[in-house]
Structure 1
Amino acid sequence: MSEAATRPSADPGALLASLDPLLRGWLPRQRWFAGKGRPVAGFDLVAATELLPPGAEQGLLHLLIRVRQPLPGSAPTADHELPADCYQLLLGIRTELPPRLAPALIGHVTGGALAGRTVYEALYDPRLAALLLERLRLPGRLGVLRFLRARGAGGGQDSPGSPDGPGSLDSRGSAGAPAAGNAHGIDIPPGLVPRALGVEQSNSSLVYGDTFILKLFRRVVPGVNPDLELPLALAAQGCRRVPPPAAWLTADGADEPLVLGVLQPYVAGAKDGWELALQSLAKGTDFSAEARALGRATAEVHAALAAALPTVTLGRAQVELLARGMTERLRAAVRAVPALRPYAPALRTAYDALADLAAEGETQLMAQRVHGDLHLGQCLRAPSGTWSLIDFEGEPARPLAERRMPQPPARDVAGMLRSFDYAARSNHPWTPEWADTCRAAYCSGYADVSGRDPRTSPVLLRAHETDKAVYEAVYEARHRPDWLPVPLAALDRLATGSTREEATDPGTDAPL
């Protein structure tokens, strides 16, 4: 490890002490910070790496920090803290911040080695963002960080692959298969101009020259991130519905690496399904052809994942366990969102029906790796009209081990069905027929490729759609309270069996 890589962490206490007051104010305002609503009890430094030593002009500091927060309603002491979340930060360092970078300001350091310097979000600085891509172009190690490429890529990683199969990762996060359709990997030219995407979700993204997109994971956990693992597996299968990873960034962990970022081809000129759906609703045009094409794309990805990674058959015990997990999530959701309480008994019948099918020996479900959080915003239509699926991370709030478990493909299907409903309800006046037509077209498109229409398993589909709507209710209550009526209306319909035309806004007598 070089001196440049180790110098910031030589005195972690002093570094954290100098940054502590700045991060306490800045972190809770970030869209990707998971601990909103709870005070910060303190920070622990996991690793500090200087990607660019802070000279007279500027520097780039990569931090992995754990954020300690107390349990809700408890005193801020070590005995009453939640497990600390680990976050990836990229801090730019300057003596003076130019006006164009003013929105990226984190604060001014008053003590420690960085005293007198200004700290800011580095991703908005083109020079520092370009440095990240240059590191990825030339694989290697810097401190705890590893910059990796698919084997066969120019200047790339040629370590042996995992024995788990093609497209999987070894214990260091290295790829055992080249990118799809290119035995020499994906070329990454120098000098691509970076720009940060303005939309912040649970991660941050940089686009380079409309050629590549780098997704940086903000909240990181040890182990293989599905957003790297699954696209690699699909690339090895030659599936062109998902952009193949060109390079990625990891950090050494105590037992397993932490996946920090993935670089993939950028679909220039593409529009996501949510944007296209809203345009269709605003114009009053038919969206069923696009919905059917999305169904076909989903089925193709499912088929490729089933070919690339192990599948399992869920017997009675496993199906009952699946239903029990849904029931437990409902109970937790009711505690978090009291508005769900009137619907809970009826919603539970969806899960009971799934368990009853297993008990009667009437079903054996196939489970496989799936997208895990599929909705219109995770689908891109290229100018050519081809649909791609992106963002295979799954629901970030769920544990990594759970996100990597095989699931019935109906989980993804249910997510898309819910997304069509979301789009329809965002339009005024509400157009339920639009959602119904899209849902039917999507299932038909899925059947075109898979040979099986998801609607032929109504009990399974209802259970997954209910589970998804329960998740949505918790998410909206925490992050977007104004949207809470959307999943609540769906849960009202799923609980009562009412038709869409009869559905009302929960808590009122007015139709939605």
Structure 2
Amino acid sequence: MNSSPEDAAIELELALSAGTVHWGPGQRVRILTRNGEPAQAGDGIAAELARLLSGSPLPPGVRRTVDAAPGTVVGHERGLGAGIDMTNWNVVVDERLIVKVVGRLGDGDRAVRVTRAVAERCPDVLPLLHGTLELDTPHGRATVATVHQFHADSVDGWTWAVDEAGAAVAASQRSAWPRQLGRLVARVHAALADATAEATAGGSPGPGAIAAPLGATLPPPADGPPDATDAGALRLRARWGALAAVLAAAPALRAPRFAIHGDLHVGQVLRDATGTMRLIDFDGDPLGDFDPDAAEAAVDVAHLLVSLDLVGAIVAKRQGDHPAIRAWADHARHDLLAGYRDVSPHLAGAPLLDERRLPALEAQQLLREVAYAERYLPRWRYAADWAITHRFDPDPELEDPPWTPPDSPTT
């Protein structure tokens, strides 16, 4: 099941002994305790969902698909922490399972389908999927919850990559992990292309397909001067012409299209104590302005390259901006692409990655980052601001104040 205008009017409820999972207008989920309060870790709902996958009797209209039996569920619950995964509801159960309830009805189907395609071909790059719970709807079955293996010693890249980058900058060293990550992503792309690729004629999509979201995602700065206190707006305005020029210069695609990750950044990369990396959350881009089931490898790679710059921005916020951080980011980006080329995934003789399109797709992703910060997380805007400031030349006729670290205790 995929989300559609008809689905938006559906109201469905999954009644559990510990509470209720309810999808209302717009398909947004509400997870409530028996007392009608918003559910949290410890209220028993995640454990009950895990038990349903383990073999407990299913409520009416619910089905389960077991990929790897999760075993006995004791039921200890804890949250992942504030600010983790704003789209879906996640709870750790028994320190070995992570239960996710999808935030919008239908959104889980694509993620599960793509996850299974990768797991079949290279299972070592993902946390083990134990299985899914599906709910009958007027338009078919929809995945409403997933249960994956939880690696208690793993942390996501907004923690480990930032800490490691900061240490590397302080020691004037380059990091080894970007090349490793490039190889991992190339393997995932090879698996996904094998499972989902479609033939792509040269010339589609072309420059317009990349440039179009520029206007839809973020309006250009006004002709008049922005608020004099908003230095970020001044810097963006000074580089708007350079961004638009890169977008307009995007060449037509000469690579296969297939189902990509769709929201690939370092935060989607778990790393454990042994250095093993695993990709998570194949849910697609929260801004949703492209089809992740018929996209190109360069979209994922561009997003990941941008996230390396965002790691640099966080380090600059912590340490103060200086050239060594930009040098680290340059090396990390170079090494990630080198790792991808080490694997060099192809389909029917055609390389999956069309590197000519990376500059435009990176520019597009940076503007998405600005738009995301404007809509959902204003304190995050400084990171895209740092990357845009250092990657694009300003118009010499426009005011261009220097980037300075924001005065905020949070990332």
Q: By the TM > 0.5 criterion, same fold? A: yes
Q: Which residue of 1 aligns with 2:91?
A: 206
Quick check: 1:223–1:257 contact (8 Å CA) kept in 2?
no
Tell me the amino acid that sits aligned with residue 65 of structure 1: G
Aligned pairs for 1:74-153 within 5 A: 85-94=26-35, 119-138=36-55, 141-144=58-61, 146-150=62-66
Secondary structure (helix, strand or coil) at the match of 1:231 reads: helix
Q: Which residue of 1 aligns with 2:335?
A: 441
Deviation at 1:91, TM superposition (A): 0.9
Q: Do residues 289 (structure 1) and 183 (structure 2) align? A: no
Deviation at 1:298, TM superposition (A): 0.8
Change in 2 beyond 3 A, CA 1:463/1:240: same
Quick check: 2:135–2:141 contact (8 Å CA) kept in 1?
yes
Secondary structure (helix, strand or coil) at the match of 2:106 reads: coil
Aligned pair partner of 2:254 in 364, 387, 403:
364
CA offsets 1:398-430 (integer angstroms, 9 cap, x no match) = 16xx44422211111111111111111112223
Q: Do residues 462 (structure 1) and 350 (structure 2) align? A: no
Quick check: 1:367–1:409 contact (8 Å CA) kept in 2?
yes
Aligned pair partner of 1:450 in 330, 344, 348:
344
Change in 2 beyond 3 A, CA 1:205/1:336: farther
Change in 2 beyond 3 A, CA 1:147/1:231: same
Change in 2 beyond 3 A, CA 1:142/1:422: same
- CA distance in structure 1 between the aligned counterparts of 2:392 and 2:345, rounded to whole angstroms: 30
Q: Do residues 387 (structure 1) and 277 (structure 2) align? A: yes
TM value normalised by structure 1: 0.65
Q: Do residues 195 (structure 1) and 78 (structure 2) align? A: yes
- CA distance in structure 2 between the aligned counterparts of 1:296 and 1:259, rounded to whole angstroms: 31
Quick check: 1:139–1:147 contact (8 Å CA) kept in 2?
no
Q: Do residues 247 (structure 1) and 131 (structure 2) align? A: yes
- CA distance in structure 1 between the aligned counterparts of 2:72 and 2:174, rounded to whole angstroms: 38
Deviation at 1:507, TM superposition (A): 6.2
- CA distance in structure 1 between the aligned counterparts of 2:9 and 2:208, rounded to whole angstroms: 37
CA offsets 1:350-376 (integer angstroms, 9 cap, x no match) = 23222xx43xxxx62222221111111
Aligned pair partner of 1:415 in 297, 303, 317:
303
Deviation at 1:378, TM superposition (A): 0.3
Tell me the amino acid that sits aligned with residue 447 of structure 1: R
Q: Do residues 350 (structure 1) and 266 (structure 2) align? A: no
Tell me the amino acid that sits aligned with residue 248 of structure 1: T
Quick check: 1:123–1:129 contact (8 Å CA) kept in 2?
no
Secondary structure (helix, strand or coil) at the match of 2:243 reads: helix
Aligned pair partner of 1:64 in 23, 31, 51:
23
Quick check: 2:243–2:363 contact (8 Å CA) kept in 1?
yes
- CA distance in structure 1 between the aligned counterparts of 2:79 and 2:163, rounded to whole angstroms: 25
Task: Give me the identity figure in percent.
Answer: 25
CA offsets 1:440-476 (integer angstroms, 9 cap, x no match) = 1111111111269x9x955311011011111101001
Q: Do residues 472 (structure 1) and 358 (structure 2) align? A: no
Give the unaligned 5+ runs of structure 1.
1-42, 53-58, 67-84, 95-118, 151-178, 180-184
- CA distance in structure 1 between the aligned counterparts of 2:307 and 2:390, rounded to whole angstroms: 15
Tell me the amino acid that sits aligned with residue 50 of structure 1: A
- CA distance in structure 1 between the aligned counterparts of 2:186 and 2:268, rounded to whole angstroms: 15
- CA distance in structure 2 between the aligned counterparts of 1:281 and 1:404, rounded to whole angstroms: 30
Deviation at 1:299, TM superposition (A): 0.9
- CA distance in structure 2 between the aligned counterparts of 1:342 and 1:367, rounded to whole angstroms: 34
Q: Which residue of 1 aligns with 2:196?
A: 309
Quick check: 1:223–1:256 contact (8 Å CA) kept in 2?
no
- CA distance in structure 2 between the aligned counterparts of 1:130 and 1:334, rounded to whole angstroms: 41
Change in 2 beyond 3 A, CA 1:191/1:91: same
Aligned pair partner of 2:265 in 371, 375, 396:
375
Tell me the amino acid that sits aligned with residue 302 of structure 2: A
Deviation at 1:187, TM superposition (A): 3.7
- CA distance in structure 2 between the aligned counterparts of 1:414 and 1:49, rounded to whole angstroms: 39
Aligned pair partner of 1:217 in 102, 113, 116:
102
- CA distance in structure 2 between the aligned counterparts of 1:217 and 1:507, rounded to whole angstroms: 45
Quick check: 2:78–2:92 contact (8 Å CA) kept in 1?
yes
- Off by >6 Å, runs of 4+ in structure 1: none
**Which has more radius of gyration?**
1
TM value normalised by structure 2: 0.80
Tell me the amino acid that sits aligned with residue 252 of structure 1: D
- CA distance in structure 2 between the aligned counterparts of 1:243 and 1:337, rounded to whole angstroms: 43
Change in 2 beyond 3 A, CA 1:275/1:287: farther
Tell me the amino acid that sits aligned with residue 181 of structure 2: L
Give the unaligned 5+ runs of structure 2.
1-7, 223-232, 405-411
Secondary structure (helix, strand or coil) at the match of 1:383 reads: coil
- CA distance in structure 2 between the aligned counterparts of 1:458 and 1:235, rounded to whole angstroms: 26
Q: Do residues 46 (structure 1) and 11 (structure 2) align? A: yes
- CA distance in structure 1 between the aligned counterparts of 2:40 and 2:50, rounded to whole angstroms: 11
Deviation at 1:251, TM superposition (A): 2.3
Q: Which residue of 2 aligns with 1:298?
A: 185
Between 1 and 2, higher relative CO (CA 8 Å, sep ≥ 6) is seen in: 2
Q: Which residue of 2 aligns with 1:231?
A: 115
Quick check: 1:343–1:495 contact (8 Å CA) kept in 2?
yes
Tell me the amino acid that sits aligned with residue 509 of structure 1: P
Secondary structure (helix, strand or coil) at the match of 1:246 reads: strand
